[in-house]
Amino acid sequence: MSKIHSSAALQIGQRVRAVRHRLGISLEDLGELSEISWTSIGKIERGASSPTAETLVRIGSALGVDPGTFLSGITADDYGQRLHQLSARDLIKARAEQDEQHRRKS
């Protein structure tokens, strides 16, 4: 059994597999339709590989679904521990507060 890349990769892979199964096509068929090797798709479906945006677009197009459906609800936290937990909004707010403090001191 291969190692799981991340929770996000596993969720994406499960979504790809679910659509493929629903359509009743094989890994080989999806590989041919998406022009991605079926072994690579197998790794994605098992969560052992995290697909690129291009790969998701190719797979989504081949399956006839919006590639965004594979990513819906996935966050950066699903990829494992993050060094920075701030968002751009948090950074902007902190800078505004810092600027306000500097203005008060002046």
Question: In tens digits, what is the pLDDT along the chain, a chain of 106 residues?
Answer: 568 889 999 999 999 999 999 999 999 999 999 999 999 999 999 999 999 999 999 999 999 999 999 999 998 888 887 677 778 898 899 899 888 888 888 7
pLDDT at 1: 54
**Residue 55 is part of a domain; what is its CATH number?**
1.10.260.40
Residue 50, number of CB atoms within 10 A of its CB: 16
Output the pLDDT for position 85: 75
What was the pLDDT predicted at 2?
Answer: 67
Q: Let me know if residue 92 belongs to a domain.
A: no
Is residue 64 in a domain?
yes
Task: List the domain range (segments joined by +) for residue 2.
Answer: 1-79
CA dist., res. 26 & res. 3, Å (int): 23
Query: Domain total for the chain?
Result: 1
Whether residue 49 lies inside any domain: the answer is: yes
> Is residue 100 in a domain?
no
* Tokens encoding 60: 């989504």
**Global confidence as pTM:** 0.79
- The Cα–Cα gap between 50 and 33 comes to 20
Residue 2 lies in a domain: yes
- Report if residue 90 sits inside a domain: no
